[in-house]
Structure 1
Amino acid sequence: MVPFVSQVALAVGLTGWFSLLNGEKAIAELVTQLHLHLASQVTHHLEDRLALPILINELNTDAINTGRLDLSNFEQIEQTFHRQIKLFDVGYINFANPQGEFIGIERSSNGQILINETRQPFLSRMSIYQTDAEGNRIGLMEVSHDQPPVVEEAWYADAIAAQAPAWSSIYQWDDKPEIMSISSSYPIYDEDNTLQGVIGVDLLISDLNQFLRDLDSGGEIFIVERSGLLVASSKPEPFFANNADNSRSYAVESKHLLIQKAAKCLLNKYGSFSEIKSSQQFDFPVLGKRDFLQVTPWQDSYGLDWLIVIVVPRSNFMEQINANTRTTVLLCLLALISAIFLGLITSRWMSQYIHRLVKVTQEIADGNLEQTVDSQPIQELDDLAQTVNQMALELKESFFELEDRVAQRTAELLEAKNTAEMASRAKSEFLESISHELRTPLNAILGVTQVFQSSDSLSPEDQENWQIIYRNGNHLLALINDLLAIAKIGKYQMELASDRFDQRLTPQFSDSEQLDKPPVDLDLKGYLTQMSPDWIDQLHCAAIKGLDHDIIYLISQIPAELSLLAFSLTAWAKDFRFENIIDLIQKIKEDYE
């Protein structure tokens, strides 16, 4: 009973524990999805917004290079920039030449489009004009004096230093210090690589701040440079820590606790913002609680390298989880108590029946097949009882049937075994007797035939008759070898031609139909001539008589340096191709003659 209660308690406890773990896992997955979604939104917004200044600059650069835009004609530049700022949602489009002259089109906070112009000889004065819908000046709005040289401003100076398209550092407008912007600047050079000026397009950082505030993140989102300087945030944040020297604020000095703690956590974890190479997600402590943080690097091909940091408080998700946890614990306790109570009652009743069932099955296993189990009112137990009874009956029937089958199969196997052994012995005896009975005289005939064929005293007709005998003898030897091979593998796999023999011992084969004799390797002839004449005569005699054992014995006397000869003779002897040996020796004798 104790194990049953322990199992129930363990099952209920594990159910509650896994429920809590699944809740935590669900929270982690939800936070991951939220972070990925927010990071994707911010990334796409940055890519879309920061692509506009680059596109405008490329359009203007192309117009300048093709001569459609004259940098000395400020009126043409003014009209071109005015049309572009109406088409594209940017804050400023401007141009300045090395002489310090400047023309810029500005979109004010109320949507009005203004013209800002600085011309020689008054390079420290900027005139601001209002425009109509077509971009025409309709009146002087303001004159700003004591303007710093335009060539010293960040958007101009950074492009000249890079000598290539580049993003400026985030800077403050001189005439409107409350505005922060970043400029995409393109230096313009003529064919002689002489600087003609710099064109630039500004994006307002305030627009990026507003986008981050509009995102429903439930926490804080901020963008930081690798140096730690803030770029934008979802909270109102002063960009300058000290207005006296115009130094920008660092994220670790933020007035908002989550931003400050998140920045410090990243510095403590990585040592520097520059060490963050890929998107990372983890939790970190804030005021005794742990909040979720994700940092995602973002770069473009023109030098921007920022970090997108998303911080979501854990409390945003845990309230409902904690309530579900309490409910789960109470339900688990109730289920545990109920299971234990019902288990005690059920186990006592079932143990008695199971004990009886075990006793019956044990007696059946011991061979007492007359035992049966009583029926039960519960369907499952009654099915089990009927199954045990049916099993006992079938075992009883199968036992007697198996005895009969075993006796019958044993007798059949014994008879088949005896028959197979007799057939095998008969086959072996036949093969042993036919081997020498057929091949020995046949090889002798072939050997004598070859001797007569080499004789010069025979008439052409006799030579032809001996050739017929030799050819048909070879056919007969091949047939015998085929039969022996078929007998060895136990299966007939070869078709015998009806014309293997000359039925009348008359010439019936054309030259193309004659069986080609195996070629005599010049190396084998050379090796064989190195053996003694007596040894060669013994080999010749053994081959004519078809004495394969004698040939194998003679092969064993061949020196090691003539291994090729030994290998070839062994292969011919094992395949009963004595005619090859005879032919080889005959060729040597012909060479001697």
Structure 2
Amino acid sequence: MKSQYFLRDKTFPLQLVLVVPFVLQIFAAVGFVGYLSFKNGQSAVNDLAEQLLDRTSDVVDERLKSYLAIPQILNQLNADVIRRGMLDVRDREVVGKYFWDQMQAYDLTYIGIGLTTGEGVGAARYDGKTITVDDWTATLPNNLTNYAVDSQGNRTQVSDRWDWDNFKETWYTEPIAAGKPIWAKITALNLPTPYIAASASRPIYDSQNRLLGMIAADIHLLKLSDFLHSLEISQSGQVFIMERDGTLIASSGTEKPFTLVKKDIKRVQATDSPSPIIQTIAKHIQSSKGFGSITGDTDFQLDVQGEPYFIDVRPWRDPYGLDWLVVTSVPETAFMAQINANTRTTIALCFGALVGAIGIGLFTSRWLVHPILRLNQASEAMASGNLEQTVPASNIQELNTLSHSFNHMAGRLRELFTALEHSKEVLEGRVDERTAELKNALAELQRTQAQVVQGEKMSSLGQLVAGVAHEINNPVNFIHGNLTHVQEYTEDLLEFVHLYQQHYPRPAPEIQSAAEDIDLEFLQADLPKMLASMQLGTDRIRQIILSLRNFSRMDEAEFKAVDVHEGIDSTLMILQHRLKARPEQPEIEIVKHYAKLPLVECYAGQLNQVFMNILVNAIDAIEETNAKRPYQELKDHPSRITIRTSMVDAGWIEVAIADNGVGIAQAVQKRIFDPFFTTKALGKGTGMGMSISYQIITEKHRGRLECISTPGRGTEFIIQIPLRQAVQQAP
């Protein structure tokens, strides 16, 4: 008896055995997937933060280069004009008007000269808007007079007077002492509005190389702060610029890089900035590395007021002595919001899948166990001597078969006991036989029961796994489907901006300035093109792969009628990044002379591949030519690619692509269509592009491809193909 109770204590209900393992599997699988999703999201945040910081730093770098180059260039031009005698520095009224004209054209704060005689003249925009003219003599006091001017730059009335001494001002003495173009120390004045500017200055000489004095052009540093403020990093991100000693120059926040102390301007150290973000980052840099020790791009993470920030520090220098540090910071929360939302969604899905799995498991186990329990009760009743037992049919095929077998067995037992009552004299002879039959039937019943349980286990497992797969597939498809909404959201946002511009045609100055800084009109026009270009780019990649396979295996594909001009334009769009102007070379102009052409039967993808190969070679030839020509020659003879289409006759079309590049020598022209022949440097070409193009035109389309080139004047490729591939005759 004790052993029987011990065995009962170690057994488990079938319903529990069926439900618990599947619930645990589902919970573990979904939890593991959610964990991996969260970790991958964190890794993606680090990569995205690094890309955003690098992009923002690059934008600031380009802005500083372009903005701070203007004063030095203008000084050079003015110094040359003075040296050639085209501007008489002694006529200060004429010089002042000359500087007034330049202030109209350039976004500067001050342009002026200081002479060795102690005199000087300049044009200023002290309040950031109104241009006035300064004129001073060498005799103190009140020797500097500030004049208001009319719309022609003529002096109208005296606005103010104050003392000015060239020989005591670093504005004058620093470039004279240096004897070359420099950036003087940043000037901070209160005239009466705060005036803090960087001054680009240089000495000026007459035609006999005699020193006349110096010339300077100032930039108000608050304009740099306005530019940094226009950068859309995040709501709490910060970009700031400081000198090597830690003095603030500009920041993207609302705080100014200076304070007024008893009407005197005092510049602010980054470590004393009212912005806690700037102050914390600056103190960390000062304590860990020191402002002067940073020589390259430095990235690190830092907690600011309990929140993690990604930090990028870059030194910025120019040939005239500027040595600044550009610091970009972005909070981690700018990237983690969506990941946290996805984590909560994953947890909700895990909980939903768990509840669903438990419900389905309970329902399935109940459906499976209930007929078995009824069969067990009927068996126990029969074992107690009650042979009048019938098990109802089940919806499960295996259990239904077992029920029929049990009922048949019960009927047979009843028949046997009836026959026993009527045949007592033969019962003893057949009792052993009937007992053996009963044992066999019970053994068969037990085997059948075991088979039914095992079969139902596998069936339930299959149903649960299918359900889990379905539940997991739904969120995956949901995520994939949302990718298509990016373009719709972009179009909605652009439409919203357009509607805003229609109802508010005169926005606030700050909005107008921000729109000009980000070039809103270009962004509205270019963003849809960018999305379309991405789609065209992926389609083009598939076409290129198919074309390469057709070339290598000679696969046949269907012809279709296409617009050749669309193929050329699509190829030009993909190559747009190589056509536009870059710092090292000018823009390549595309000249189109398209004739009215009918649709052409061709392998569209392969024909586009030919256009791609020819245009890439043309761009390479032009870039090689530009590398050998001086800047002035590039302006007088711009780079150009001419594309011409025409009808040769009723059955043939012609596409000619010409460039004004370096040209091709006669010896090279003879081998240009040979496989693996290339004149490019190792690693820049395989020599298969023109060979593939020649095969596509001549063999695939039964056309002609010719090369006409004159060294030093350019190259032209002429493509001729029939409109219909059934046309056999040449033009």
Q: TM-score, normalised by structure 2?
A: 0.44
Instruction: Classify 1:131/1:177 alpha carbon distance in 2 versus 1 (closer, same or farther; 3 Å).
Output: closer
CA offset digits 1:45-68 (Å, max 9, x no partner):
212211111111011111122221
Deviation at 1:86, TM superposition (A): 1.1
Residue aligning to 1:252: 271
Q: How does 1:263-278 map to 2 (within 5 A)?
A: 263-268=282-287, 270-278=288-296
Residue aligning to 1:195: 211
SS at match of 1:58: helix
Of the three residues 77, 82, 92, the one matched with 1:59 is 77
Contact 2:83 2:205 in 1 (8 A): no
Amino acid at match of 2:119: E
Q: Distance in 1 between matches of 2:361 and 2:167?
A: 89
Contact 2:113 2:216 in 1 (8 A): yes
Deviation at 1:142, TM superposition (A): 2.2
Amino acid at match of 1:349: M
Instruction: Classify 1:30/1:218 alpha carbon distance in 2 versus 1 (closer, same or farther; 3 Å).
Output: farther
Of the three residues 169, 182, 197, the one matched with 2:198 is 182
Q: Distance in 1 between matches of 2:24 and 2:207?
A: 90
Amino acid at match of 1:258: I
Instruction: Classify 1:336/1:277 alpha carbon distance in 2 versus 1 (closer, same or farther; 3 Å).
Output: farther
Residue aligning to 1:212: 228
Contact 2:85 2:206 in 1 (8 A): no
Residue aligning to 1:20: 38
SS at match of 1:25: helix
SS at match of 1:35: helix
Amino acid at match of 1:288: G
Check if 1:91 corresponds to 2:200. no
What's the C-alpha RMSD, in Å, of the aligned pairs? Answer: 3.2
Q: Distance in 2 between matches of 1:174 and 1:187?
A: 26
Residue aligning to 1:45: 63
Check if 1:170 corresponds to 2:186. yes
Amino acid at match of 1:294: D
Q: Distance in 2 between matches of 1:56 and 1:108?
A: 19
Amino acid at match of 1:255: P
Q: Distance in 1 between matches of 2:187 and 2:461?
A: 89
Check if 1:150 corresponds to 2:259. no
Q: Distance in 1 between matches of 2:281 and 2:154?
A: 50
Contact 1:218 1:312 in 2 (8 A): yes
Deviation at 1:116, TM superposition (A): 0.5
Q: How does 1:380-419 map to 2 (within 5 A)?
A: none
Deviation at 1:331, TM superposition (A): 1.5
Number of positions where the alignment pairs a residue of Structure 1 with one of Structure 2: 350
Residue aligning to 1:262: 281
Q: Which has the larger radius of gyration?
A: 1
Residue aligning to 1:282: 300
Q: How does 1:469-488 map to 2 (within 5 A)?
A: none
Of the three residues 309, 315, 328, the one matched with 2:333 is 315
Deviation at 1:253, TM superposition (A): 0.8
Deviation at 1:171, TM superposition (A): 1.3
Q: Distance in 2 between matches of 1:336 and 1:282?
A: 41
Q: Percent identity?
A: 37
Give the stretch that moved more between structures: 287-296 or 48-57.
287-296
Contact 1:91 1:201 in 2 (8 A): yes
Q: Distance in 1 between matches of 2:460 and 2:112?
A: 94
Q: Distance in 1 between matches of 2:296 and 2:27?
A: 45
Residue aligning to 1:223: 241
Contact 1:241 1:249 in 2 (8 A): no
Deviation at 1:280, TM superposition (A): 2.8
Residue aligning to 2:155: 137
Unaligned runs of 5+ in 2: 1-18, 366-456, 463-731
Residue aligning to 2:177: 161
Q: Distance in 2 between matches of 1:137 and 1:3?
A: 94
Check if 1:324 corresponds to 2:342. yes
Deviation at 1:23, TM superposition (A): 2.2
Give the stretch that moved more between structures: 313-322 or 110-119.
313-322
Q: Distance in 2 between matches of 1:241 and 1:274?
A: 28
SS at match of 1:168: strand
Residue aligning to 1:551: none
Deviation at 1:117, TM superposition (A): 0.8
CA offset digits 1:342-379 (Å, max 9, x no partner):
799999327999xxxxxxxxxxxxxxxxxxxxxxxxxx
CA offset digits 1:265-285 (Å, max 9, x no partner):
2223x4211222222333211
Instruction: Classify 1:245/1:175 alpha carbon distance in 2 versus 1 (closer, same or farther; 3 Å).
Output: closer
Residue aligning to 1:104: 122
Deviation at 1:189, TM superposition (A): 3.9
Q: How does 1:330-345 map to 2 (within 5 A)?
A: 330-335=348-353
Q: Distance in 2 between matches of 1:173 and 1:93?
A: 16
Residue aligning to 2:145: 127
CA offset digits 1:422-452 (Å, max 9, x no partner):
xxxxxxxxxxxxxxxxxxxxxxxxxxxxxxx
Q: Distance in 1 between matches of 2:139 and 2:176?
A: 23
Contact 1:155 1:184 in 2 (8 A): no
CA offset digits 1:13-47 (Å, max 9, x no partner):
32111111122233333333332332233222212
Contact 1:35 1:294 in 2 (8 A): yes
Instruction: Classify 1:283/1:50 alpha carbon distance in 2 versus 1 (closer, same or farther; 3 Å).
Output: same
Amino acid at match of 1:235: T
Residue aligning to 1:82: 100
CA offset digits 1:367-409 (Å, max 9, x no partner):
xxxxxxxxxxxxxxxxxxxxxxxxxxxxxxxxxxxxxxxxxxx
Of the three residues 65, 68, 76, the one matched with 2:86 is 68
Q: Distance in 2 between matches of 1:135 and 1:244?
A: 31
Q: Distance in 1 between matches of 2:250 and 2:151?
A: 33
Deviation at 1:139, TM superposition (A): 2.0
Deviation at 1:306, TM superposition (A): 1.2
Q: Distance in 2 between matches of 1:224 and 1:243?
A: 24
Contact 2:126 2:195 in 1 (8 A): no
Q: Distance in 2 between matches of 1:245 and 1:132?
A: 31
Contact 1:8 1:340 in 2 (8 A): no
Give the stretch that moved more between structures: 325-334 or 13-22.
325-334
SS at match of 1:36: helix
Instruction: Classify 1:284/1:243 alpha carbon distance in 2 versus 1 (closer, same or farther; 3 Å).
Output: farther
Q: Distance in 2 between matches of 1:138 and 1:350?
A: 99
Deviation at 1:123, TM superposition (A): 6.2
Contact 1:129 1:138 in 2 (8 A): yes
Q: Distance in 1 between matches of 2:351 and 2:461?
A: 29
Contact 1:124 1:149 in 2 (8 A): no
Q: Distance in 2 between matches of 1:265 and 1:202?
A: 32
Q: How does 1:480-559 map to 2 (within 5 A)?
A: none
Instruction: Classify 1:245/1:139 alpha carbon distance in 2 versus 1 (closer, same or farther; 3 Å).
Output: closer
Of the three residues 224, 235, 240, the one matched with 2:254 is 235
